[in-house]
Chain A
Amino acid sequence: MVPTSYYVLLSAALFTIGAMGMLVRRNAIVLFMSVELMLNAANLALVAFARQQVNPDGQVLVFFVITVAAAEVAVGLALLVAIFRSKRTTDVDEVSTLRG
């Protein structure tokens, strides 16, 4: 059996990639993908610990996270389409009208 630490390391790596992608990329679609990556990194960690602890709670929680993530993507993509229609771009740095 694969030790739990492998899963957790993979999860951490995925999360870091997601976070870095969030920070360095400007394309809104890639940002979304990065967010998804982070969410799924968390999911992976939850499932791994659930298996180690023989406790189904973590697995149940993953289903909730997936549901929420789906809703988030739906809303986010709708926003993205709206932004693209008015600004003709998906570069988030171009969308900074609310600068204080």
Chain B
Amino acid sequence: MFNFIWLIPLLPLVGFALNVFVIRREREAGYVATGAVALSFLVALATFIQFAFSPPAEAKPPRVDLVLWNWISVGEFNVPFGLLFDPLSGVMVLLVTGVGALIHLYSIGYMHGDSRVVRYFAYLNLFVAMMLFLVMSDNMLLLFLGWEGVGLCSFLLIGHWFERRTATSAAAKAFVVNRIGDAAFLVAMMAIFAHFGTLSFYDIELADGAVIEGFLERADEISGLIFSIPGQNFLVSTGIAFLLLIGVTGKSAQLPLFVWLPDAMAGPTPVSALIHAATMVTAGVYLMARTHPIFELSAATQGWVTWIGALTALIAATAAVAQWDIKRVLAYSTVSQLGFMVAAAGMGAYVAAIFHLLTHGVFKALLFLGSGSVIHGTHDTQDMRKMGGLREHMPTTFITYLVGAGALAGIFPLAGFWSKDEIIAHAWSGQNFSIFLLLFVSSLLTAFYMGRQIALTFFGQQRDHSYHAHESGQVMTMPLMILAVGAVLAGAMNLPMLHWLSTWLEPTLHEHAAEFGVTQLILAVVTTLLAAGSGYLGWRYYVANSAKIKPGAKDPLYRYSGDIWEALEEAWYIDRAYEKLTVVPGFRALARFMAGVFDPQGIDGLVRGVGYAFSQAASALRVFQSGFVRTYALLFLAGVVMVVGYLLII
């Protein structure tokens, strides 16, 4: 199978091409797109199984590196178009294609009747292909191609309903905010090339016997190397890692660049599930795990990573508590969980980060698809104040949603319990008490807002009777059930004592499984009990107060917290701070200058000036075109005399 790993990204790409050029009908588009990703999943699974039972022994760390062709070759700069399949890529590929295929299937039902379904499936396939390039790339540049590609697909899919103003501005916002991170990533890439002379992760042997060296295995070369800007000295490794971190904060929606993710919910719900919860936003965490030797050289950056992750986790969790939009709760929850992963990566617990990435991919996709089912069944209602009592109308959605919420809240024995507990245990054993506290409070808040959401959506009485709620069709409930099973079982990947995932990732991430002792056991029990209590509290409070909740009304907790609640609703005004600090003085002024001065005088002036010059020249020259043949003859003669005279003189 190892020689066929190119099929994994190619199949969705073929699906994209078919949907763009051949297919015109909705039904076929859905089947082709889903089939392409499902086939890709099967190939990935076969490769994965072969890798597990007979890993390629010759390479160290074990990996399959398939160079398809020489991509760019300019002097010293050699970048092959190479695909990598190693333990880390393997689990990522399985997540992307597996969850991706289910979401494609679900989309057939969810997008039924939409006016642009073929285009939707084309973009969805392109996204999967780009994400696969991202996780299977064997060098930074191809990774960057995927990195930008998923950003592009995210932009296109957020703006799928471009008739809505919110969708287009959300798409533009996502693109612009991501661009900041991408610029930093690009600079980091240049710095890596400048210091290592290569962009490949590991050594690659080409067909003609030449070897392209990788930089990860010899990251130590830059340890202790210093560069200076006036007045300050920095480690080179700190510089590179910090630039990569900025890239991560953009793509993985971390403080201070997370603002695009909640707005990205303007896209279709399956897109939110696939791109803005399960896969694309995890690219940053994957990047940190992949390039961890560089991060490990810089203790300063690792501290930043940890703090950014933990603070993001807390801020987003508090914001999620106060949202009314069913999808925005999940969006802030995603930001918060990504904060957990980033904090774990910062503490050096890369396995825990990847573990949480995988389980989160499964149960957050489940939650988003469940919320999509709710939105679908209530005829495009997203405000939870208009819901209520839906458990009787949508039993399947309710049960699966409950499983997903439990997994997210970290209730034993669902998937989120194992992965989140591992991160919290790491913070505890790392003696990092403030980080531990931030993450611990965030995880309690997680349980609370999920309890609140369940109570508001599924319990009580239906508060708005303008729609008739109904359960979604089988094509939508099937993926929900499969994902629910996944959300129950995914924790088994890395059970304490067994540590399958740790062992599996050990060659790539060089991290040994953590000890599991009595302290960890007590911590786990305390965490899950408190989470369950907090979730129950959230549920109980909102069920008891369900009579007070009306469309347009304030939250019952608003009475106790007042202005703080409003701050929570706006995610601590970070969005508004951006508007005040950059959009209004900087961007608006620039736009005004461009629209008021540069465009009418610069661009238009140039265009009009060219036209004016020609018409002036023409009116000067038209004097000669008198219409009298004899004048022409005279001028002709004069011209001839001048030419002859010139020739005589020379």
Contact = CB atoms under 8 A, between A and B. Distances in A.
Given A19-B637, A23-B637, A99 B625 contact: yes
B622 A26 contact: no
B620 to A, nearest CB: 11
Contact of A99 (B626, B633, B637): B626
A33 interface: no
A48 interface: no
A23 B628 contact: no
A100 B625 contact: yes
B628 A93 contact: yes
A66 interface: no
B633 A22 contact: yes
B650 interface: no
Nearest to A26: B630
Contacts of B622: 100
Range, interface on chain B = 10 to 19
A47 B351 CA distance: 102
B624, B626, B630 interface centre (most CB from chain A within 10 Å): B630
B633 A97 contact: no
A81 B239 CA distance: 88
A74 interface: no
A96 B624 CA distance: 13
A26 B633 CA distance: 12
Contacts of A98: 625, 627
Given A19-B637, A23-B637, A93 B630 contact: yes
A44 to B, nearest CB: 18
Interface string B618-639: 0000111111111001100100
| B interface, over-half SS | helix
Interface string A61-96: 000000000000000000000000000000011011
A93 B629 CA distance: 7
A95 B637 contact: no
Contacts of A99: 625-627
B627 A100 contact: yes
A97 to B, nearest CB: 7
Interface in B603-631: 622-630
A100 B625 CA distance: 5
Given A19-B637, A23-B634, A23-B637, A31 B629 contact: yes
B633 A96 contact: no
A19 to B, nearest CB: 6
Nearest to A34: B633
A23 B631 CA distance: 8
Interface in A12-44: 19, 22-24, 26, 31
B4 to A, nearest CB: 73
A92 B631 CA distance: 11
A92 B625 CA distance: 15
Contacts of B626: 96, 99-100
Contacts of A31: 629
A98 B626 CA distance: 8
A24, A96, A97 interface centre (most CB from chain B within 10 Å): A96
B115 to A, nearest CB: 55
A100 B617 CA distance: 13
A92 B514 CA distance: 106
Contacts of B629: 31, 92-93, 95
Contacts of A24: 630
A96 B630 contact: no
Nearest to A19: B637
A91 to B, nearest CB: 10
Interface in B51-66: none
Interface in B541-587: none
A22 B630 contact: yes
Contacts of A22: 630, 633, 637
B632 to A, nearest CB: 10
A67 to B, nearest CB: 23
Contact of B633 (A23, A93, A95, A100): A23
A19, A22, A24, A100 interface centre (most CB from chain B within 10 Å): A100
B369 to A, nearest CB: 73
A97 B637 contact: no
Contacts of B634: 23
B625, B629, B637 interface centre (most CB from chain A within 10 Å): B629
Please list the 7 inter-chain residue pairs (A to B) with the smallest Cβ-Cβ separation, ordered nearest first.
A96-B627, A99-B627, A100-B625, A100-B622, A92-B629, A22-B633, A98-B627
Interface of B: 622-630, 633-634, 637
Given A22-B630, A26-B630, A99-B626, 6 more contacts: A23-B634, A31-B629, A96-B626, A96-B627, A99-B625, A100-B624
21 contacts: A19-B637, A22-B630, A22-B633, A22-B637, A23-B630, A23-B633, A23-B634, A26-B630, A92-B628, A92-B629, A92-B630, A93-B628, A93-B629, A96-B626, A99-B625, A99-B626, A99-B627, A100-B622, A100-B623, A100-B624, A100-B627
